[in-house]
């Protein structure tokens, strides 16, 4: 029997890419999954594919005050929450001279504010129950200073600082906190760039597939005893950062 059998896991950004791959793998390991994203049709199809009591909530995580709604819905469907994977995010990037400032606040709201809010709300619940696992998706972009990466990389760096502090605050509580930082992974996150006629990063940087990252997330969830795999950087085997 898998160590995740019967665990209840909430995954954001679950309608595609890393989130969908993670939901499938957690389901294969016996976890009951609760899928959160905006696209209800995709969530419905994925929940039916996974089975084992999988449920979903169509929600715009960039809106205000949705963390409590997400926890309440997950509790109603699953009865408890053991794992939270904060995966939802968007990428908007360009040189500072061309960056559309109208895209700044939506990016902050989803990539940082939603993640922080969900982490805090779920951490309080998990601390009260005496156990849990929170995994926040960062990026190797948090450690790369390069043109056009300032906003996205800056937000991911902020995610890492917050997550490390949360891990320290929860030490000894039974709640594990970790960061998974993927290298370039071919997902829909680059669609906006491509629609603008730009070359997606996954078209010229060696790219992984979502399942590569999902395996790291599942590994982090499988730690037992006193072990906490608190930080995993996942690179393509020919990626030279």
Establish if 35 belongs to a structural domain: yes
Q: How many CB atoms lie within 10 A of CB 127?
A: 15
Whole-structure pTM over 0.85, yes or no? yes
What would the mean pLDDT of 202-221 be, rounded to a whole number? 91
* Confidence label for 141 from pLDDT (cuts 50, 70 and 90): confident
Q: Tell me whether residue 18 is in a domain.
A: yes
Q: Look over the chain and give the mean of its residue pLDDT values, rounded to a whole number.
A: 92
Cβ-based neighbour number of residue 147 at 10 Å: 9
> Could you tell me the two tokens for 106?
């939506």
CATH number at residue 108: 3.40.50.720
Q: Which domain holds residue 183?
A: 8-234
Name the residue with higher pLDDT: 56 or 192. 56
pLDDT at 1 exceeding the cut of 70: no
What positions carry a catalytic annotation?
A: 152
CB neighbour burial string for 64-77, b if at least 16 within 10 angstroms, e if fewer: eebbeebbebbeeb
Contacts of 234-240 spanning 24+ positions with Cβ under 8 A: 234/180, 234/181, 234/182, 234/183, 234/208, 235/140, 235/183, 236/183, 236/184, 236/206, 236/207, 236/208, 238/206, 239/183, 239/184, 239/205, 239/206
Quick one: pLDDT band at residue 190, thresholds 50, 70, 90? confident
Residue 74 confidence (pLDDT) = 97
The confidence band for 52, taking pLDDT boundaries of 50, 70 and 90, is very high
Predicted confidence band of residue 241 (pLDDT cuts 50, 70, 90) = low
Give a yes or no: residue 3 inside a domain: no
Q: How many angstroms separate the CA atoms of 233 and 191, rounded?
A: 23
239 is a domain residue: no
User: How many angstroms separate the CA atoms of 52 and 27, rounded?
Assistant: 7
In a domain, 200, yes or no: yes
* Number of domains comprising the chain: 1
Give me the phi and psi of 180, to 5 degrees please.
-115, 120
Distance, in Å, from the CA atom of 202 to the CA atom of 236, rounded to the nearest integer, reads 11
Q: Does 2 reside within a domain?
A: no
% of the chain exceeding 90 in pLDDT = 71
Strand partners, 181: 233
Does 207 reside within a domain? Answer: yes
User: Which pair of structure tokens corresponds to residue 27?
Assistant: 């389901």
């Amino acid at each position: 029997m898998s160590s995740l059998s019967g665990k209840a896991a909430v995954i954001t950004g679950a309608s595609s890419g890393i989130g969908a791959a993670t939901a499938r793998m957690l389901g294969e390991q016996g976890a009951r999954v609760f899928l959160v994203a905006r696209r209800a049709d995709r969530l419905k199809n994925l929940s039916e594919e996974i089975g084992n009591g999988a449920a979903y909530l169509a929600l715009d995580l960039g809106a205000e005050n949705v963390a409590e709604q997400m926890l309440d819905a997950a509790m109603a469907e699953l009865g408890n929450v053991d794992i939270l994977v904060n995966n939802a995010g968007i990428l908007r990037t360009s040189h500072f001279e061309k960056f559309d400032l109208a895209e700044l606040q939506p990016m902050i709201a989803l990539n940082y504010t939603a993640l922080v809010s969900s982490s805090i709300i779920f951490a309080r619940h998990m601390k009260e129950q005496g156990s849990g696992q929170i995994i926040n998706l960062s990026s190797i972009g948090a450690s790369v200073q390069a043109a056009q990466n300032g906003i996205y990389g800056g937000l991911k760096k902020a995610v890492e600082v917050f997550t490390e502090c949360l891990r320290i605050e929860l030490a000894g509580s039974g709640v594990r906190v970790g960061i998974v930082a993927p290298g370039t992974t071919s997902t829909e996150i680059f669609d906006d760039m491509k629609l603008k006629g730009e070359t997606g990063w996954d078209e010229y940087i060696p790219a992984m597939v979502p399942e590569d990252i999902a395996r790291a997330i599942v590994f982090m969830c499988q730690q037992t005893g006193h072990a906490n795999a608190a930080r995993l950087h996942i690179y393509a085997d020919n990626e030279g950062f």
